[in-house]
Amino acid sequence: MEKRAFRHFLKVSDLEASDIREIFDMTEHVRKNPEHFENRLSRKTVCLLFEKSSTRTRLSFEAGVHQMGGDTVFLGGDSQLARGETIEDTARVMSGYLDMVIIRTFGHDRIERFASRATIPVINGLTDGHHPCQALSDFSFIGKELGAVQGIRMAYVGDGNNMAHSLMEAAALLGVHLVVATPPGYAPDKEILRWSSEKAKKTGGSVTWMDDPMEAARGASVLYTDVWTSMGQEAESSIREQAFSGFQINREMLSLAASDAIVLHCLPAYRGKEVTEEVFEGPRSKVFAQAENRLHLQKALMLFCNRKG
Ligand code: CP
Ligand code: NVA
């Protein structure tokens, strides 16, 4: 079956800064004029192949596809993948039926293997290694909230895994000064840190790691956190709660940030763990507007992936 030129989106560093700017501009068009995009996915079928739970990613993609005139199919844990059909064979079969696939899975290698055999666009809806749709959406949201992204100071406080990795890659491409603070045993991937800090030197930003969360927060305009125990790590939750106990966004940490700092969280959140109830529900927290932005950004992202060669 002949397919049009397309792009996969597996991690933020698949993009150039100019691609991100194009997606952000399109996001604003989609947000302001959704009626102009009502037929852009007509007669397209988009599958969500999800091997982990989701509320925001599933719903924002499904709603976005429907708002642009397309159809969605949700495939959870009961496909033949669960019985051992290979991810490569699954990609070849799905490419014959569908126009795009959003995948949420465990190891990042699984989505890379799928994409290597797919002849339709593949978008990463979260792997253990990356959460690129969330990070792109968050920087488009920050741009709207703060009026700019380049040159801002941001602190990510928490686990150095998928969320941190995607924020690091995006910060590097966009010229953000990002400090990632994690306990020593939970630092981000060394290669992603190296790539991000090198790239940031060329864009006027910086991406650094430290194990002091209060120092990271000092003067930041954005404080960002994620859960201490990600999906698939539930057996480690009590040991993680001990390791991360000093990494909570609370009143003291917020007092060290810029006086007009905003607090972000990809959600779902565990109040009293990575963020206090007081900060989560307080005036600096923008987490629900942040979540809503996923819809607009992902509509723009699907249009980008669908047509680019
Ligand atoms: N932030 C995010 O991806 O949320 P879900 O796990 O609910 O999709
Ligand atoms: N780091 C979290 C993000 C959830 C959106 C997880 O992988 O479970």
pLDDT tens column, 115-148: 999 999 999 999 999 999 999 999 999 999 999 9
Facing residues of 45 across strands? 71
Please report which ligand is nearest the Cα atom of 61: 1
Are residues 139 and 19 part of one domain? no
Are residues 286 and 156 part of one domain? yes
Is residue 256 domain-resident? Answer: yes
Query: What's the CA gap between 152 and 146, in Å, rounded?
Result: 9
Are residues 278 and 142 part of one domain? yes
Are residues 22 and 153 part of one domain? no
- What local confidence, expressed as pLDDT, does residue 207 receive? 98
Are residues 108 and 44 part of one domain? yes
Q: Is 267 in the pocket of ligand 1 (CB under 6 A)?
A: yes
Residues framing ligand 2 (Cβ under 6 A): 126, 131, 161-163, 226-227, 230-231, 266
Query: What's the CA gap between 304 and 309, in Å, rounded?
Result: 10
User: Biggest alpha carbon distance in the chain?
Assistant: 59
CATH (domain of 219): 3.40.50.1370
- What local confidence, expressed as pLDDT, does residue 4 receive? 54
Are residues 143 and 120 part of one domain? no
Query: What's the CA gap between 279 and 281, in Å, rounded?
Result: 5
Is residue 70 domain-resident? Answer: yes
pLDDT score of 307 more than 80: no
The pLDDT tens digits for 99-116 are 999 999 999 999 999 999
- What local confidence, expressed as pLDDT, does residue 122 receive? 98
- What local confidence, expressed as pLDDT, does residue 5 receive? 82
Is residue 6 domain-resident? Answer: no
Are residues 72 and 31 part of one domain? yes
Domain count, the chain: 2
Closest CA to ligand 1's atom 4: 56
- Find out whether the peptide bond into 268 is cis, omega within 30 degrees of 0: yes
3-state secondary structure at position 116: helix
Facing residues of 153 across strands? 177
Query: What's the CA gap between 195 and 29, in Å, rounded?
Result: 32
pLDDT score of 1 more than 80: no
Are residues 269 and 208 part of one domain? yes
The pLDDT tens digits for 218-277 are 999 999 999 999 999 999 999 999 999 999 999 999 999 999 999 999 999 999 999 999
Listed residue (186, 155, 180) closest to 258, CA to CA: 155
**Confidence bin at 2 (pLDDT 50/70/90):** very low
The CA dihedral of 256, 258, 260, 262, to the nearest 10 degrees, is -70
**Confidence bin at 85 (pLDDT 50/70/90):** very high
Are residues 87 and 100 part of one domain? yes
pLDDT score of 308 more than 90: no
Domain span including residue 46: 12-131+293-307
Are residues 139 and 116 part of one domain? no
The mean predicted confidence, pLDDT, of the chain is 97
For residue 289, which phi and psi values (nearest 5 degrees)? -65, -40
Q: Is 56 in the pocket of ligand 1 (CB under 6 A)?
A: yes
Q: If you measure from the C-alpha of residue 202 to the centroid of ligand 1, how many angstroms do you get, rounded to a whole number?
A: 31
pLDDT above 70 covers a percentage of the chain that reads 98
Query: What's the CA gap between 216 and 208, in Å, rounded?
Result: 10
Atom of ligand 1 nearest to the CA of 291: 1
Q: Token digits for 23?
A: 């997606």
Task: For residues 170-183, give the mean pLDDT.
Answer: 98
